[in-house]
Structure 1
C-alpha cells in the first residue's frame, strides 16, 4: 500500500518531478530524519559557542546597547514598530542612508530579551544561535521538496542532498558576520520567515488548504518586518512551485497573490513610518553612505560587476573575510579590468544555463534564478545599499551555492555524468567531507575576529587595507587602547599606531570627517605629552584646511587662548589659516570665527585687523569693515602696500 502511494506521487511525464502527496503523508519524521535535524541544530549552535562570551560590537549599539527604545524593554516595542529603525539610537530620523531603514522585528526580540535579562550580550548571542540552528532544520526539510524524489528516498540521510546542503550552509564561513554579530539577527529572521513561507506554499499547492495560505502570508510578512530582503521570495516562491511541482498556474497563482499582499502590507506600513517609499528626495553626498558618488556611469557599472564576481569568489573561497567593504576596499573599476570581464562572463554563463534549463525545469536553472533573485536587492543595480558589498548580504543567496555543489557531487556526478563507476560516489563523499570540514575549521578561525573592535578591525585592515572606514575604526581602537594603557612606552606605541591608521584613512578619503576629528584628537594628545605647539598648530591647520568646522579643534583653540601663552604663534596661526586658506576657499564664516579667536590674542596685530576687515567687506558689513581696516592702518601704515 505504501509503495502504491509513493508511485502515485510521481508524475507521468519525465519521471523526475514530484507531486507533494509523498512529502506530506505523515511519514517524513522518520528516525533518520529526526537524527539529521537534531544533528544540524546542534552543529549549527555549537559551532558558534565561542561567540557567547563576546560583547556588543559595531551596529549592536544602534539596535541594542545604545538604542533608547530597545533599552525600555516591552514598553519600547511600540516605538520600535512605529519609528524608523535608526531613530532609537540617533534620537530622530536622519535619513543617513538611501531608502531609510525599517526592520523592527529583530529589534523587538532584543527589547523582549532586555526586558527579561537586561543588557546581556550572551543572551542575544544564544538567541542568534538558536534561530540559526532552526534555520538549518528548515533548510533540511525544504530540500526534500527541492531535489528529485529518487535522490531523497534512496540515499542514507547522512549522505543525502538535503542533509549535506544544510550542513554545508551551516558551516560556511561567510555566515560568521550574520551569526557572531548580534545585529545580524535581522538577516537570520528574514530568511527564516521567507523559508517558512516557501514551505507552506508547498503545503498549499499539495492540499489547497486556506490555512496554509494564511501561514504563507504570516511568515513572509514577519520575514519582511525583519528585513526587506525577504521581498525577493516574491519571485522565489512561484519559481520553486513551477520547478518542483506539476501543479498548474491556477494552483500557484493564489500563493503569489497572498505573497504579494504580504509585501504590499509591509510596504504600506514602511512608507507610513519613514515617510516615503524608496527615496526621501535628499541626495546622499557622504562617501561612506554613497560609495559611488565619485564615479562616472561606466565606472559604477564596472565596480558593481566586480563586486558581483567577488561574491561568487567568496562562496567558493571565503578568504580573506572582512566586515568592511566601504570605500575604497573595492577600488574604482574600469571595464578594461580582466576581473570585471571575467565576472561578467560568469554571470552571463549562469544566465544562459538558467534559460536553457527553464523549460526542462532543471535543478540548476532554479537555483541560479534563486541566486539572481535574492542577490538582486543588495547588488546596487536597482538601488544603492550604502556600501559596495557586505558578506552578510549574500547570506540568503549562499544557499544556492550549497545546493548546487551538493547536488552536483552527490547526485548528478555519480548517477548521471559518471554512472556505473563505483569509485565516483566514495570520491564525491570525500570531496564533500573535505569541503565541510575545511569550512567548519575556517569558521572557527574567523569567529574570534568578532570578539572585540580591535580584533575585528585588525582583520579588516589586513583583508581590505584601502578601506577608509576600517582604517579609521582600527585607529580609533588603538587610540582607546592608548587611553587605557598605563605604561608610557605602551601608550606611545598605541598612539603611533592610531596616528598611522588614521593617516591611512585620510589618504584614502581626505575629507573623511570622523578621521579628521581623530587626527585632531591625536595631535592634541601629542601636545599634552610633549608641549610641541608648532607641531600641534601645523596638524590643526592641515585638518581645518579640509574641514574648518571640526568642533573639537574650535574648543581646543579656545583652551589655548585662555592659557594666554605663546600669543605670537597663535596670532600667526589664526591669520595664516583664515586669510591664506579659508577665505580663498570660500569659508568666509569660518575665517571670521578664527579671526575672532585671533583678535583675542592679537588685538594689536595689524594683520588680524586687516583680515577681519576684508571678511566684513565680503559679507556686506561695511561699517565694521571700515573700522577694522582703519585700525589695521593705524597699527601698520604699510599694511595696504
Structure 2
C-alpha cells in the first residue's frame, strides 16, 4: 500500500512538472519587457555588475523600486552572472522556481491531508492557471515566484514542526518565513493563514502541542486557552510581519509610489476592494481579457460595490455554517481573503485597480475549495468518479490552453500593451507605452496621438506629459513642448528632468532668461549633470555672458571630457578672444570625438588659418 501511494505521489509530481514545462517552454525565447525589466535587470547599473561584494551590499540597502527585497535582488544578480543579457535565461529561472513551488505545494498538501488527487488538482491549477502567467513570465515579478516558494516552504516546514514540536523545527519555520519576507512582504498575512491551517487540516484546536508549552502552563485546558497558545506560538511571526509591513509602506513612500488621499480618497479605495475580490474570482472562472495593467476607475458603480460586498458576506456566512462538515471551505475562503488583503488597495500603490500577479498565492485557497468539493463528491458517490475526474482534467487542460494564449501577449513590449489597450478602457499606461514604441520607430504622429490619449485619460500623468513634450521637440514645436513640460512640473515640481526639458525648450523659443533660470535650478541641485550645464552655457552665451558660458563649458568637460560640443564651444570662445592656440587644441579634440562633423572641421580650419595669419612675416 505504501509503495502504491509513493508511486502515485511520484507520478502526480512528474505530471505537474511536465505540464508546467510544456506550458512555459516558449518563454526561453522571450525578451525583456521594458516595463520594470529595465529597472530590475537590463539597465540597472548594480545588477549588471553581477555578484560582487558591493552589489550584494547594495541589495540589502536598496529601496529604489519601493520594496526592500534583498533576496530578490540577489537572485537577479546571480542570474545576470550566469545569463548576462540573455533574457530567456532570466525568464527560465522564474519558470524553475514556479515549477518547484507547484510540486512542493502538491507534496505539502498531500502530506497534511493524505489526499494526493485533491492535492494534485490544487497544485495543477496553481501551476497552469492563466492568472499566474504574469507572475511567472514577467522577469520583474521574480519577487512573486520567489516569495511564493518560501510561503509554500514555510507551510511545509510548519507541518513537520507540528508533527513533533521542537525548537529546532520551529526555528526552521521562522527561517523560511524570514527568507520569504526578504523576497517580498506579501508574506505578512502568512501567520494568520497558519492559524487557519491549525484548524484544518492539522486539527490542532483539540491538542495544540507547541515548543513553548513550558512557558505557557495553564491550570485549565479550555478551547480559549488552546487558541491563545496557538496565537502566542505565532507571535514572533506576527512581529516580523508588522515590522515588514511598516518597512514596505516606508519604502513605497520614499519611492513616491503611494497614492495620496487627495489623489485617491479613502472612500474610493474602500469601494474598489470588494469589487476587486469578486473580479479576481470572475477572472479565475473566465480567464480571458487579462491585462498587465488595469486602470483604477475612480468611483465604482454603487450597484457593483453593494453587489460585490453582499456576495462576499454571503459566501463568508455560508462557509462558516459549513465549518463542521466541510472545514476546507472556510480555510480555503479565508486563505483567499486574508492573503489578498495587503494588495486590495486600501494602502494604494500606483494607479491600478487590481493586478493578475496579486492572485499568485491567494488563489491557492480557492483551488483548495474546488479540489476538496470534488474530492467529497467522489467519496460520497463512487459512480460519479469518472465524471469528476474528467471535470478536473477539463479544468487543468482548459487552463493550460488559455494560459498558452495569454503567454503570446508577453512576447514583446508592443504586443503586451496593444493587448492591454484592447481589453481595458481608458488605459493611460498602455497608451503611454504604445506612444513610447511609436516614438522609437519614428512614428511621431502616432506617438503624439497615444500620449494625448494618455493625458486625456489621466490628466495628472507626468510621464505622458513629458513624452508628449519630447514629441513636440522632435517636431520642433517648441512652444507646445514648453506647455507640456510646464504641466509636468505642475504635477511633479521635484524631478529635475522636468525642469531640464523645460529649460531646453524655452531656449529654442528665444526665452533665454527663463531658460537660464530653469537650467540654473537643475545644476544647483545636480551639479554633475553635464547636459544641463552645457545648455546653461548656451543660454549664457546668448545672453552675452561669455565668461559664465565658458565656465559652464569647462565644467561640462570636467564631468565628461569627451563632450565634443563643449570642446567646440570653448574653442569658439577662445578664438573670439584671440587665444588661437587653445582654440585649436579644443577644435582638434572635438573633431576626434565627432569625426565627420562638418561644422567642427570648418572651425578647426578657420582657427588654423587665424593662427597662420598671426605669424609674423619672414624677412627677405
The answer for the alignment partner of 2:37 in structure 1 is 60
Instruction: Say yes or no: does 1:189 pair with 2:146.
Output: yes
1:351-372 C-alpha deviation (Å, 9 max, x unpaired): 2123323455611011011111
The answer for the alignment partner of 1:298 in structure 2 is 267
The answer for the alignment partner of 1:505 in structure 2 is 454
The 5 Å alignment of 1:398-547 reads 398-408=363-373, 410-416=374-380, 419=381, 422=383, 424-482=384-442, 494-527=443-476, 537-538=479-480, 540-541=482-483, 544=486, 547=489
Flag the 1:245–1:297 CA change in 2: closer, same or farther, 3 A: closer
Quick check: 2:344–2:354 contact (8 Å CA) kept in 1? yes
What is the alpha-carbon distance in structure 2 between the residues aligned to residue 265 and residue 299 of structure 1?
A: 30
The answer for the alignment partner of 1:319 in structure 2 is 288
Flag the 1:269–1:339 CA change in 2: closer, same or farther, 3 A: closer
Quick check: 1:225–1:266 contact (8 Å CA) kept in 2? no
Judge which range, 75-84 or 31-40, deviates more: 75-84
Flag the 1:266–1:404 CA change in 2: closer, same or farther, 3 A: closer
Quick check: 1:315–1:401 contact (8 Å CA) kept in 2? no
The answer for the alignment partner of 1:72 in structure 2 is 49
Q: Which runs of 5+ in 2 are unaligned?
A: 213-229, 491-497, 519-535, 544-620
What is the alpha-carbon distance in structure 1 between the residues aligned to residue 540 and residue 465 of structure 2?
A: 22
Quick check: 1:74–1:112 contact (8 Å CA) kept in 2? yes
The answer for the alignment partner of 1:309 in structure 2 is 278
What is the alpha-carbon distance in structure 2 between the residues aligned to residue 269 and residue 351 of structure 1?
A: 28
Quick check: 2:278–2:308 contact (8 Å CA) kept in 1? yes
Quick check: 1:187–1:395 contact (8 Å CA) kept in 2? yes
Q: CA deviation at 1:550?
A: 4.8
1:545-591 C-alpha deviation (Å, 9 max, x unpaired): 67475532431331453xxxxxxxx89xx99xx9xxxxxxxxxxxxx
What is the alpha-carbon distance in structure 2 between the residues aligned to residue 293 and residue 175 of structure 1?
A: 33
Q: Residue 83 of structure 1: which of 61, 66, 82 is its match? A: 61
What is the alpha-carbon distance in structure 2 between the residues aligned to residue 217 and residue 29 of structure 1?
A: 30
The answer for the alignment partner of 2:24 in structure 1 is 48
1:114-148 C-alpha deviation (Å, 9 max, x unpaired): 2244333222222111111111111111222454x
Structure 2 residue matching 1:251: 3-state secondary structure: coil
Quick check: 1:217–1:259 contact (8 Å CA) kept in 2? no
How many matched pairs? 497
Quick check: 2:293–2:420 contact (8 Å CA) kept in 1? yes
Q: CA deviation at 1:214?
A: 2.7
Q: CA deviation at 1:540?
A: 4.1
What is the alpha-carbon distance in structure 1 between the residues aligned to residue 13 and residue 120 of structure 2?
A: 8
What is the alpha-carbon distance in structure 1 between the residues aligned to residue 233 and residue 42 of structure 2?
A: 37
What is the alpha-carbon distance in structure 1 between the residues aligned to residue 101 and residue 481 of structure 2?
A: 52
The answer for the alignment partner of 1:261 in structure 2 is 236
Flag the 1:73–1:277 CA change in 2: closer, same or farther, 3 A: closer
The answer for the alignment partner of 1:30 in structure 2 is 6
What is the alpha-carbon distance in structure 2 between the residues aligned to residue 522 and residue 539 of structure 1?
A: 8
The answer for the alignment partner of 1:211 in structure 2 is 168
What is the alpha-carbon distance in structure 2 between the residues aligned to residue 41 and residue 394 of structure 1?
A: 21
Q: Which runs of 5+ in 1 are unaligned?
A: 3-25, 88-99, 483-493, 528-532, 562-569, 579-593, 602-641
Structure 1 residue matching 2:51: 3-state secondary structure: helix
What is the alpha-carbon distance in structure 2 between the residues aligned to residue 524 and residue 77 of structure 1?
A: 38
1:54-102 C-alpha deviation (Å, 9 max, x unpaired): 2222222222222233223221453244313427xxxxxxxxxxxx411
Instruction: Say yes or no: does 1:379 pair with 2:336.
Output: no
Flag the 1:196–1:449 CA change in 2: closer, same or farther, 3 A: same
The 5 Å alignment of 1:556-595 reads 556-561=505-510
The answer for the alignment partner of 2:108 in structure 1 is 142
Flag the 1:415–1:143 CA change in 2: closer, same or farther, 3 A: same
Structure 2 residue matching 1:388: 3-state secondary structure: strand
What is the alpha-carbon distance in structure 1 between the residues aligned to residue 291 and residue 252 of structure 2?
A: 32
What is the alpha-carbon distance in structure 2 between the residues aligned to residue 283 and residue 138 of structure 1?
A: 36
CA-based RMSD of the aligned residues comes to 3.5
Q: Residue 194 of structure 2: which of 211, 218, 237 is its match? A: 237
Q: CA deviation at 1:405?
A: 1.9
Q: CA deviation at 1:44?
A: 1.1
What is the alpha-carbon distance in structure 1 between the residues aligned to residue 167 and residue 251 of structure 2?
A: 39
Flag the 1:28–1:394 CA change in 2: closer, same or farther, 3 A: farther
The 5 Å alignment of 1:97-136 reads 100-136=66-102
Quick check: 2:188–2:242 contact (8 Å CA) kept in 1? no
Quick check: 2:468–2:484 contact (8 Å CA) kept in 1? no
Q: CA deviation at 1:196?
A: 1.2
What is the alpha-carbon distance in structure 2 between the residues aligned to residue 294 and residue 115 of structure 1?
A: 41
The answer for the alignment partner of 2:521 in structure 1 is none
What is the alpha-carbon distance in structure 1 between the residues aligned to residue 446 and residue 439 of structure 2?
A: 8
Q: CA deviation at 1:434?
A: 2.4
Quick check: 1:216–1:258 contact (8 Å CA) kept in 2? no
What is the alpha-carbon distance in structure 2 between the residues aligned to residue 440 and residue 40 of structure 1?
A: 12
